[in-house]
Structure 1
Amino acid sequence: MTDITAGLLPEGLRDRLPPQAAAAEHLMRGLLDHVASHGYERVQPPLVEFEESLAGRLGVTGRQELLRFTDPVSRHTLALRPDMTGQVGRIAATRLAHIPRPLRLAYGGAVLRVKGSQLRPEREMLQVGAELIGRDSVAAVVEVLTLAVAALTRAGVTGLTVDLTLPSFVADLAAAWAGPAPIADLATVEDLLDAKDSAGLAAGGASLYQPLIAAAGPAAAALAALGRLDLPPALADRLADVADVVAALAAGNGEGVAVTLDPTERHGFEYQRWIGFTLFADGVRGEIGRGGAYSIVHPDGAREPAVGFSLYVDGLVDAGLGIVARDRIMLSLGTPASVGDRLRREGWITVAALDGDTPAGCTHRWTGDTAEPLEGHA
């Protein structure tokens, strides 16, 4: 067995050092404080659950992200959570099932996945989110989506893009178009749409789906293109609901947020229902959040509508957000504790000297009656 080099961490894991560790905590606190101000109450699910229970609340993609091990106490298989949304759903369906709806819950903490992606190699991430349980109406989606946008904007994120998707649209369309689209099966259609293979659709006798590929883009144009299709009333109504969401976003954020729509995107939205969304921003690698409407399954099998979002803090930290510079003042040996208390109340970070040397990182020195800037910090 090869010895592990001291300080080496498993692939996809890392240490957060100053000031990034403090920035991550600052961002998490700010995001959670913002959603709390809108009535979302904090819950704190455990890092580990029984694998069978946790896997049952995740989509196919989520199941693949479970890191499993055997519990030495119960002898059952446990799993580390790759996402907290399902855990919040479990809490809502069991311990908080008696609370009147809509129920607003918020959460924040670390999640761990089996492996990262090429775009996001990290396996451990900080996730912050909010779930509105008991409703998945246009008003509920608008509340949750605008809350996510506002929380990110307050955190200093700029150049936001909201990429909307319609997770079950293609499947519902296939059911309505079963006669005029004699292609092998739905999976074939979805694979060709994923590949944006317009020629393949035509060759398979499913040219009716070709406009879905061309429709992807700015939300207004995409909705107009989809509206020209021969849609059953239920899907036409769904597009009208999505248009209402887009209009509400524009009204609430002016020109500050770009909104796009891809009616064929479905990866990562296995358990979402009529609408899903992904959030991107200028200067931040990969997605910074996602969410949508979904169902929570209760122990008796009943389904309850919900809508929520998850935000990923690490990308914001890597982009330089959340770092708050504060002056650090050195207190010489013998400085009364009351002086340090007063300076901290005034907003200083105090660093007590343990000898005659100035502690590293200090910007000022307490002279006994005033704060004196150190060289280079005048």
Structure 2
Amino acid sequence: MTGPFSNRAADPDDLLPEGLEDMLPHRSAAVSRATRSVLAAMDGRGYDRVRPPMLEFERSLAGRMDGVATRRMFRFVDPASLRTLALRSDITPQIGRIAATGLADAPRPLRLCYGGEVATIRADQLDPARQRLQLGAELIGSDTVEAASEIVTLAIEALAAAGANGVSVDFTLPDLVDRLAEKAMPLEPGAKDAVRRELDAKDAGGLAEIPGGEAYLPLLYAAGDFDAAIERLSALDAGGALASRIGGLRAIAARLGDRTRLTLDPSERHGFEYQSWFGFTVYAEGARGALGRGGTYRLSGSGETATGFSLYMEPMLEALGEGPVGRDLLFLPLGHDREAAARLRSEGWRTLSALDESDEAAVLGCTHRLTAEGPRPI
């Protein structure tokens, strides 16, 4: 791998697998700043941080929540237990396990947050990365309108704290087809998956070819700016099958007020494998794709309801831009005043000590030099 510090061509043995990359100092510093800001916003709202392990038994990761696909996980046999281990592809199921085990007796609703690396065998079509930094918050023990409003508000505040501008939120109803197919728009056995697929693809022709699918065609046009889209969705809901969900969306939107742009795409399911009645996607100016997703879901085993969201650092960095090039760096010459250097570090200075007379402050990237009078610009 080549970079700003080397003109050497990359040796084939040094190449990284597809979808993986080194994070060099400038980008790594930007990630650290954004991570601290996001986690601080969550902490300020009363969310306690937990740190689950990178590896777990495959059965635990796959069984905690519906829709978790183990085929996306790296799996291997644990030589100690001879059971199959999996490298996490999503931290959310781990938070569910913690809530159901170590924190089973903690008061509800339980507010937890996290930050850590995840990895997948194959990259998403829209995202070539196979390793990502996932940050998120989960409110366990409630999936009410109040809980959903708090979670969406926290996602917006966390992104704003990191420096993102122009944040927008797109609402969806992940169980829309299941709900309508119960009575209002019945479907033949096996047709629900086909209807979901064509709605995801926004394919009106394909939808019309499915027996019973033509009834779902108007849903393709009940999308866009929230106020207009929710009115179109309400007009389609003659039987009232979606009345409680529409009322919930209206209430969440009212609580958010005009702090961000809101849109609605009720049939969107990409990235909502385990969410139930409510889901949302967050975007920001400067990022090509979604910064994260969230919504309501149910934990398998314990049966608890929960509401949460996950943010991903790579698209977040796109939204944040390059940021500061670097912080001031103080060069400490040989024989410098060590007590003065320690005091300056306690005040927030970064220091770099000379190891040899030939060390040059400017060459090493220093912006200041320590003198008898204190730091002086170079």
Scaled by the length of structure 2, the TM-score of the pair is 0.90
The match for 1:296 is: 299
The counterpart of 2:360, out of the listed 332, 340, 358, is: 358
Q: Which stretch shows the higher mean deviation, 183-192 or 236-245?
A: 183-192
Q: Give yes or no for contact 1:23–1:324 (8 Å, CA) kept in 2.
A: no
1:110 Cα deviation (Å)? 0.5
How far apart, in 2, do the equivalents of 1:307 and 1:109 lie? 19
Is 1:367 matched with 2:371? yes
Matched position secondary structure for 2:236: coil
The match for 2:168 is: 161
The match for 1:40 is: 47
The match for 1:113 is: 120
What is the one-letter code of the residue matched to 1:370? G
How far apart, in 1, do the equivalents of 2:96 and 2:158 lie? 22
How far apart, in 2, do the equivalents of 1:330 and 1:215 lie? 61
1:246 Cα deviation (Å)? 1.4
Matched position secondary structure for 1:274: coil
The counterpart of 2:195, out of the listed 178, 189, 207, is: 189
Is 1:14 matched with 2:21? yes
Measured against aligned partners, the alpha-carbon deviations of 1:190-211 in whole angstroms (never above 9, x if no partner) come to 2222232323444445332111
Q: Give yes or no for contact 2:172–2:267 (8 Å, CA) kept in 1.
A: yes
How far apart, in 1, do the equivalents of 2:206 and 2:75 lie? 40
Is 1:135 matched with 2:142? yes
What is the one-letter code of the residue matched to 1:311? L
The counterpart of 2:131, out of the listed 124, 133, 136, is: 124
How far apart, in 2, do the equivalents of 1:183 and 1:89 lie? 32
What is the one-letter code of the residue matched to 1:316? M
What is the one-letter code of the residue matched to 1:227? S
For structure 1, list consecutive stretches of 5 or more residues without a partner in the other structure: none
1:212 Cα deviation (Å)? 0.4
The match for 2:62 is: 55
Q: Give yes or no for contact 2:118–2:132 (8 Å, CA) kept in 1.
A: yes
The match for 1:272 is: 275
1:306 Cα deviation (Å)? 0.5
What is the one-letter code of the residue matched to 2:117? A
The counterpart of 1:245, out of the listed 223, 245, 252, is: 252
Superposition misfits of 4+ residues, deviation over 4 angstroms: 181-184, 321-324
1:219 Cα deviation (Å)? 1.2
1:331 Cα deviation (Å)? 1.1
How far apart, in 2, do the equivalents of 1:139 and 1:102 lie? 12
Scaled by the length of structure 1, the TM-score of the pair is 0.90
Is 1:79 matched with 2:116? no
CA 207–11 in structure 1, closer or farther in 2 if over 3 Å, else same? same
Measured against aligned partners, the alpha-carbon deviations of 1:68-114 in whole angstroms (never above 9, x if no partner) come to 11111111111000010000000001111101101000111100111
CA 350–89 in structure 1, closer or farther in 2 if over 3 Å, else same? same
CA 351–230 in structure 1, closer or farther in 2 if over 3 Å, else same? closer
The match for 1:342 is: 343
Measured against aligned partners, the alpha-carbon deviations of 1:16-40 in whole angstroms (never above 9, x if no partner) come to 1111112212211211111011110
Matched position secondary structure for 1:342: helix
Q: Which has the higher contact order (CA 8 A, sep 6+)?
A: 1
Identity among equivalent positions (%) equals 48
1:285 Cα deviation (Å)? 3.1
Measured against aligned partners, the alpha-carbon deviations of 1:214-246 in whole angstroms (never above 9, x if no partner) come to 011111111000111234445212101111111
Q: Give yes or no for contact 1:156–1:321 (8 Å, CA) kept in 2.
A: no
CA 182–294 in structure 1, closer or farther in 2 if over 3 Å, else same? closer
The match for 2:109 is: 102
The equivalences for 1:139-288 within 5 A come to 139-178=146-185, 185-203=191-209, 204-251=211-258, 253=259, 257-288=260-291
What is the one-letter code of the residue matched to 1:235? L
Q: Which stretch shows the higher mean deviation, 317-326 or 257-266?
A: 317-326
Q: Give yes or no for contact 2:184–2:239 (8 Å, CA) kept in 1.
A: no
Q: Which stretch shows the higher mean deviation, 57-66 or 284-293?
A: 57-66
CA 322–144 in structure 1, closer or farther in 2 if over 3 Å, else same? farther
